[in-house]
Amino acid sequence: MRHTIAVLVENKSGVLARISNLFRRRGYNIESITVGKSEREGIARITLEVDGDELAIEQVTKQLNKLIDVIKVSDITHDEMIERELMLIKVSADASTRSEILQIVDIFRASVVDVSPKALVIEITGDRDKLDAFETLLRPFGIKEIACTGKVAMVRHPKEIK
Amino acid sequence: MKLTGAQIVIEALKQEGVEVIFGIPGGAIIDIYDALYDSSIRHILAHHEQGAAHMADGYARATGKVGVCFATSGPGATNLTTGIANAYMDSIPIVAITGQVVTRLIGKDAFQEADTTGITSPITKHNYLVKDVNELARIIKEAFYIAKTGRPGPVLIDIPRDVQLATADFDYSSIEIDIRGYKPSVTGHIRQIREAARLINESKRPCILAGGGVITAGASEELFKLATKANIPVATTFMGIGSFPQDHPLSLKSAGMHGNYAANYALMECDLLIAIGCRFSDRTTGKVSSFASKAKKIHIDIDPAEINKNVVVDVPIVGDAKIILKTLIEYVQEKREEEWLSYIMELKSTHPLTYADGLAIKPQFVIEKVCEVVPDNTIIVTEVGQNQMWSALFFTHKKPRHFISSGGLGTMGFGFPASIGAKVGRPDALVVDIAGDGSFLMNIQELATVVENNIPVKVVVINNRALGMVRQWQEIFYKKRYSSTILKEVNFAEIAKAFGVEGIRVTEKEELVPALRSAFEYPGPAVVDVIVEQEENVIPMVPPGAPIDQIIGGK
């Protein structure tokens, strides 16, 4: 099953390499990884999606914890959490299709960030299901390019990852 | 006080209590060596950086202190890596300090540049590339702290030349260590300890498996108390050899692929396994799904990642073995499971270790004679392969830190430099490296080191003109197709003499004991080259991947 793991790390050069090295060496598979700042100076937050059974995930979290630069590891899969991903999608659009696409954009509460005579660039955030549905609906118009951030996640109040 | 980076390194090592450094100088570490020139710290010049790392490792194993080694950038650092990986696999605390090209040239493929921290990241507990001289002292302090606490391991510090030359304030004692991501737990959970005691008190067929962690934690005394209080037989892993006296009636000696019958059978038959400071290596467990399958399992280890990694256990206790055992002993009742103990005694008496002695010198005979001749506080160091397994099996090991061998990585060439490190750390003890001819050839250049520094280690070469362990596998599993395992005979006594080391060659049985005595009594380093029977196998043997009660050969 797919697990979401929140990791707080020292924001130092080489930390990401240590983590990806660990996954490569131990044979764990990363489905997605996002890295960014956290609420605290000098600490970065990594959101990992990893596939595996409970024993495998137990090992992943323990091995991550062994890294000196890793401060805290939490498997938040079973917590009530908010997860978001951002996707930029460039879709073919001319005068005949533009209004139909804009209707879909509206329904999904996405937004158009660039318009040209033959294409639109749309920004959408949400969970994976929403992004997948959006992509499916736009596919018939001709998708030229997609860029995704991977997932960021946060447990709902009051449980905080500290 | 303002010091250069190079001076900071030496001063910090002094304040860490470092008495000896093993290493080789080079262009990128020349400034640190210049600072070392005026210092009271002893330096042992190795003749290959792998040797330097193994010496630091042997020193750490023999003394329990942190071993330190130096190497230059590029090839110096890459040559260290086998030694670092070896220390990592066996959880040995060493601090390796490497020179690096100047900061502005890093990443430019400069002369003698290698990505040392990148290369060593999977084989160190932690490593540092120092980019600012103001961080150097703190990093060294952290490195020693990380190396020796929790589950010990090697830490590497890579220092560019410009950082060695830059200056910074130095006040070592005022540095406080606070590493957010590193807080090892030591005490163990009391509820888990009570639960373990309950299982031990209820158990009818308990068995202890003691690993290297018992030795690291200095918990041999507590292990002895626990075992003797509840009359629990003790098997050890290979790394655990020495944690429990092998001449004690409760000792089952070592278990595993080349383990003792009684140890392997007891592990398979017990109803409660108490594993202490071990990681359930494949060489210990054999086929893991059938390992101790009738037993409930207690696992005491300082590294939480070892819990449920290879073997799923019922009662995990994370912490320091010494502290946990002290508490556990209080909750364990005195008892004696007569039926189980008489089964164990029968196992031991019906399956003694044997070999067919003959006219030729048998390797096992050599080890037995070494065991007879040496005094009690002798440190036995081994190379890797048949020599190692015979040393484990046919020598009676009684004390922790007196059997030193490359367990996890299985590094041929480890023994001789490790014995040098051990002797430097324990000048009071006789240090004997039991070598194979194949392994000895892998770091034989260190004969120059023992001569230059007059380090009186003794090497006993089990000279079988073969890469014996591989040859044994080829004999048993590959129809005697000896692919690249038969060697030309080398006269190690003559080689030793050429270096200025005492050399004695033994070809007849009756020459052996006098040769050993004369070598061990000789005031300097000595090599005894013993020509043994070539096609002798290490028995007992469990085929790789088989359950550990499926034993080939012998009785």
Residue B546 lies in a domain: no
Q: Which two tokens stand for residue B180?
A: 């957010």
Taken in order B224, B228, B230, B233, the sign of the CA dihedral is positive
Mean pLDDT, range B425-449, rounded to an integer: 98
What is the spatial distance between Cα A154 and Cα A6, in angstroms, rounded to a whole number? 8
Clarify whether residues B370 and B346 are in a common domain.
no
B125 part of contact set with chain A, CB < 8 Å:
yes
Residue in this structure with the two tokens 């260590």, named with its chain if needed:
B177
Query: Residues B436, B469: one domain?
Result: yes
Question: B287: how many CB neighbours lie within 10 A of its CB?
Answer: 16
For residue A160, name the pLDDT band (cuts at 50, 70, 90).
low
- Asked if A59's CB is within 8 angstroms of B182's CB, the reply is no
- What is the pLDDT, as a whole number, of residue A157? 81
pLDDT at A159: 59
Which residue of chain B is at minimal alpha-carbon distance from A8? Answer: B181
Which among B121, B305, B307 has CB closest to A18? B121
> What one-character-per-residue DSSP string does B250-308 give?
TEEEE-STT--HHHHHHHHH-SEEEEES----HHHHBSGGGTTTTSEEEEEES-GGGTT
Q: Could you tell me the two tokens for A134?
A: 């959006």
Q: What is the pTM of this model?
A: 0.96
Contact B128, B156 (CB under 8 A): yes
Cβ distance B181 to A69 less than 8 Å, yes or no, reads yes
Q: Which of A59, A66, A73 to mutate to test the interface with B (most CBs of B within 10 A)?
A: A66
Residues B11 and B126 in one domain: yes
User: pLDDT tier at A161 (50, 70, 90 boundaries)?
Assistant: low
- Residue with the bigger pLDDT between B402 and A54: it is B402
**Chain A residue with minimal CA distance to B313?**
A55
List, as one string, the DSSP characters of B200-218: HHH-SSEEEEE-HHHHHTT
Strands B296-301 and B315-318 come out as parallel
User: Which chain B residues contact residue A63 at CB under 8 A?
Assistant: 305
- A9 contacts on B by Cβ (under 8 Å): 181
Strands B155-160 and B94-100, bridge-based pairing: parallel
The predicted-structure confidence for A52-84, as pLDDT tens digits, reads as follows 999 999 999 999 999 999 999 999 999 999 999
Identity of the residue in A25, A58, A68 whose CB atom sits nearest the CB atom of B179:
A68
B122 near A CB under 8 A = yes
A15 CA to chain B: closest CA distance, Å? 11
Instruction: Report pLDDT for A29.
Output: 86
Using a CB-CB cut-off of 8 Å, the residues of chain A touching B307 are 62
User: What CATH number does residue B159 fall under?
Assistant: 3.40.50.970
Whether residues B216 and B117 fall in one domain: no
Nearest to B549 by CA among B232, B257, B240: B257
B122 with A62: Cβ contact below 8 A: no
Task: Tell me whether residues A58 and B308 touch, CB distance under 8 A.
Answer: yes
**How many Å lie between the alpha carbon of A58 and the closest alpha carbon of chain B?**
8
**Average pLDDT for residues B280-299, to the nearest whole number?**
96
| Containing structural domain, residue B418 | 363-531
User: Where residue B274 sits, what CATH number does that domain have?
Assistant: 3.40.50.1220
Q: Decide if A10 and B308 are in contact by the 8 Å CB cutoff.
A: no
Q: How far is A39 from chain B (nearest CA, A)?
A: 16
| The pairing of beta strand B67-71 with beta strand B94-100 | parallel
Arithmetic mean of pLDDT, A122-133: 96
From the CA of B369, how many Å to the nearest CA of chain A?
Answer: 44
Name which of A59, A68, A70 is nearest B305 (Cβ-Cβ).
A59
The answer to whether the A2-75 and A82-153 domains have the same CATH topology is yes
Give how far B547 is from chain A: nearest CA, Å: 23
Residues B315 and B373 in one domain: no
Asked if the Cβ–Cβ distance from B146 to A68 is below 8 Å, we say yes
Averaged pLDDT, A143-155? 95
Return the domain boundaries, chain A: 2-75, 82-153
Calpha distance A89→A84 (Å, rounded): 16
Residues of A in contact with B123 (CB under 8 A): none
Compute the distance between CA of residue B307 and CA of residue B315 in angstroms, rounded to an integer. 9
Partner-chain contact B125 A17, CB within 8 Å: no
Q: For the segment B347-398, what is each residue's pLDDT rounded down to a tens digit?
A: 999 999 999 998 999 999 999 999 999 999 999 999 999 999 999 999 999 9
* B159 shares a domain with B54: yes
* Architecture label for domain A82-153: 2-Layer Sandwich (3.30)
Same domain, B231 and B145: no
Question: Quick one: B346 and B367 in the same domain?
Answer: no
Is there a contact between A68 and B126 if contact means CB atoms under 8 Å apart? yes
In a domain, B307, yes or no: yes
pLDDT of residue B339: 98
In A, minimum Cα distance to B115 occurs at: A14
B306 and B330 together in one domain: yes
- pLDDT tens for each residue of B302-357: 999 999 999 999 999 999 999 999 999 999 999 999 999 999 999 999 999 999 99
**Chain A residues in contact with B316 (beta carbon < 8 A):** none
How large is the average pLDDT for residues B421-435? Answer: 98
Same domain, B367 and B346: no
DSSP B486: B
Q: How many CB atoms lie within 10 A of CB B504?
A: 22
Cβ–Cβ of B307/A62 closer than 8 Å? yes
How many separate domains does chain B show?
Answer: 3
* Mean pLDDT value across chain A: 94
Nearest CB to B181: which of A55, A63, A67?
A67
Q: What is the DSSP letter of B345?
A: H
Each residue of B174-211: pLDDT tens digit? 999 999 999 998 999 999 999 999 999 999 999 999 99
Contacts of B365 (CB under 8 A, 6+ apart): B355, B357, B509, B512
Question: B518 CB near a chain A CB, below 8 Å?
Answer: no
Q: How far apart are CA A70 and CA A73, in angstroms?
A: 8
- Domain made up of A2-75: CATH architecture: 2-Layer Sandwich (3.30)
- Grouping H, G, I as helix, E, B as strand and the rest as coil, residue B542 is coil
Contact B304 A65 (CB under 8 A): yes
For the stretch B213-241, pLDDT in tens is: 999 999 999 999 999 999 999 999 999 99
B98 to chain A, minimum CA–CA distance in Å?
18
Cross-chain residue pair A62–B305, CB shorter than 8 Å: yes
Amino acid at A33: I
- B329 plus B372 within the same structural domain: no
**Residue B555 in this model has a pLDDT that exceeds 70:** no
- Same domain, residue pair B396 and B527: yes
Region B122-136 average pLDDT:
98
Distance, CA of B56 to CA of B94 (rounded, Å): 7
Cβ pairs A/B, distance under 8 A: 40
Shortest distance, CA B239 to any CA of chain A (angstroms): 22
